[in-house]
Structure 1
Amino acid sequence: MEIFKLPSGRPLSYEFTYKTEPDRPTILLSNSLCAQYGFWDRVVSVLHDEGFRVILYDHPGHGQSGVSSDLSSTTFDSLADDVYTLLRSPDITQWFAGVNSPSTLTPSLHAWIGVSMGAALGVVFAVRHPGMIRNLLICDTIACSPSNAGEPDAFGPRVAAARTAGTMAKTVDETMERWFGAEWTAANADEATRVRKLMQTTSADGFETCIAALKSDTFDIRPLVGRLAECVEHVKLVVGERDADLPVKMAQMRDQVQKGFDAAGKNEKVELVIIPKAGHVPFIDGYEDYIRAILPFLKH
């Protein structure tokens, strides 16, 4: 683990694997709420075997990343700024430089793989920084805040419950149940224990500040997904079969992405893959099928 200091002084924990091997294409992995970047360990191992290098990082208040003094200030734009600042820092650019000057080089990513809020963030980042991402893999994400969707706020009560309890323990337990279910947890005790420990590194402040982004009226990627054809070369969507109504909603998102590629005159088929029996983080409970879904896409 490395720590990068953002301009505000806030720490951001990250890891850059095989950074001294620039011939390896670089993939950035972006997490869901309550997930620390160690969630991706088994995926990272496969990506290494396939010849890639990986950048992983933690959202505010997750892992060793710090939070702003104003917990309500976090938005998807500010989260995108955090990642852009990291990628443009000498800590990263020196390993992309080659014959270029590290002070002027803007690294390009072979792929951004995001799950949940990390997927929505990938869309925001791609549109804000066209050309920095070649391949965008969008997994298990809502498209907007509850207020923009005209739905009840499911997030605020979770923050209130965590604050009342004074600990994240019950929140982690409830999230484990919602994401994986008792049957999978019992049948995969070692992996469930590993994941639970990583989730427990999320602070209550981190939970609240990232939920502020998810609740914000500024969170709405519906107008952005149709613009992805202008910003990236390829897009693929993946969703767990058991992830509530997201298979339906992500099918609608896929259609909007496809319309954008069609309008741009690009001969591109945007695919949606549903991972059988998997939930909100399908690279955990649908690992084998998830790997089979993403590897051909990453060979673009």
Structure 2
Amino acid sequence: MASSSTGAEVISLPDGRKLAFDLSGPPESPVILLSNSLLSNFRVWDHFVKVLHSNGFRTLRYDYPGHGHSTTPSDLNSVTLFSLANDVSLLVMAVKLTEVHAYIGVSMGASVGLLFAAQNPGFVKKLIFCDGMRRSPLAAGKEDPFGPRIEIAKAQPDAIETLTESTLERWFGTAWMNANIDETERMREIMNTTTRDGYIACCNALRDKGNDLSRYLEKAGRNVNAAMLVVGEKDANMPETMAEMKKDIQAGLGSKGTVGWAVIKGAGHLPMIDNSKQFNTEVLNFLT
């Protein structure tokens, strides 16, 4: 385990890749594991991490392959949600964790977190699933948005800048961006650290026909003590699709409690960014 020039720590994985992470906050405190979206790095959580630390939690966050300061495998088709969940297993072993108080994932990170919980009974005490898909568009028999984005990434030298701008508009909308110039610029800077190979590799994971969480939802519910779903009000049809997922997680959770549910008003795909006030309140109430 080593520190990089950026302040992130790095572990070497069995396949030779480097995985960058940050473990910080009050020592000996309960750990919150954070997984972010495609086209970002662990700094996307900076504001929320400060809130968690001030409320007595320690945090572990990390970068996906080719995102931030993690490196990419030679085979870009080898990255799947399952391999990403395995990266988390290797990370928690490296930092010698035997449990986490909560796993909070957003977007792709929500899927990775749910798979990790389903594969590791009792390790995750509380699971928070934010703005994640039940299955890939290809698995659902729908139009695949990731294929064209991969082609852009392959063809254009400045693809990440192009993809960042279109993604910012899709996630937040121009009205929010114009009203929050500093935060928009912070997000732009974070997103532009993504490599083209990293973007392609993680898009491959998201578009994979095997990307279907349906058979893992109930299992994840069985393996945790509590679960919550959080969704941005304006995140396309996510409120409807995630409401259906909630039923399956509840079937696994059973008598341990009711799956939490929060719609973040006015927010899009990353509600901890564009309505952090409500997001922080809802999540902290669940964590404590």
SS at match of 2:283: helix
Partners of 1:35 and 1:251 in 2: CA distance: 26
Partners of 2:20 and 2:111 in 1: CA distance: 20
Q: Contact between 1:58 and 1:65, CA under 8 Å: does it hold in 2? A: yes
Match of 2:268 in 1: 279
Deviations 1:50-93 (A, max 9, x none): 0000001001110010010000010111111111111112xx11
Deviations 1:170-192 (A, max 9, x none): 10000000001110001000011
Match of 1:172 in 2: 164
Letter in 2 for 1:84: S
Does 1:126 pair with 2:117? yes
Aligned residues: 280
1:114-263 correspondence runs (5 A): 114-167=105-158, 168-262=160-254
Q: Contact between 1:112 and 1:135, CA under 8 Å: does it hold in 2? A: yes
Match of 1:15 in 2: 22
Match of 2:91 in 1: 86
Q: Contact between 2:232 and 2:269, CA under 8 Å: does it hold in 1? A: yes
RMSD: 1.0
Q: Deviation at 1:217? A: 2.1
Partners of 1:163 and 1:253 in 2: CA distance: 34
Does 1:290 pair with 2:282? no
Letter in 2 for 1:290: F
Deviates more, 1:276-285 or 1:227-236: 227-236
SS at match of 2:103: strand
Q: Contact between 2:229 and 2:262, CA under 8 Å: does it hold in 1? A: yes
Partners of 1:275 and 1:145 in 2: CA distance: 23
Q: Contact between 1:239 and 1:246, CA under 8 Å: does it hold in 2? A: yes
Partners of 1:210 and 1:12 in 2: CA distance: 14
Q: Contact between 1:254 and 1:270, CA under 8 Å: does it hold in 2? A: yes
Deviates more, 1:199-208 or 1:145-154: 145-154
Match of 2:5 in 1: none
Q: Deviation at 1:261? A: 2.5
Q: Deviation at 1:35? A: 1.2
Q: Give the gaps of 5 or more residues in structure 1.
A: 94-105
Match of 1:65 in 2: 70
Q: Give the gaps of 5 or more residues in structure 2.
A: 1-7
Partners of 1:171 and 1:233 in 2: CA distance: 38
Letter in 1 for 2:220: L
Q: Deviation at 1:40? A: 0.5
Q: Contact between 2:42 and 2:61, CA under 8 Å: does it hold in 1? A: yes
Letter in 2 for 1:31: N
- Give the structure-2-normalised TM-score: 0.95
Partners of 1:178 and 1:162 in 2: CA distance: 17
Q: Deviation at 1:267? A: 4.1
Does 1:34 pair with 2:30? no
Q: Deviation at 1:229? A: 2.8
Q: Contact between 2:41 and 2:191, CA under 8 Å: does it hold in 1? A: yes
Partners of 1:63 and 1:133 in 2: CA distance: 25
Q: Contact between 1:162 and 1:170, CA under 8 Å: does it hold in 2? A: no
- Give the structure-1-normalised TM-score: 0.91
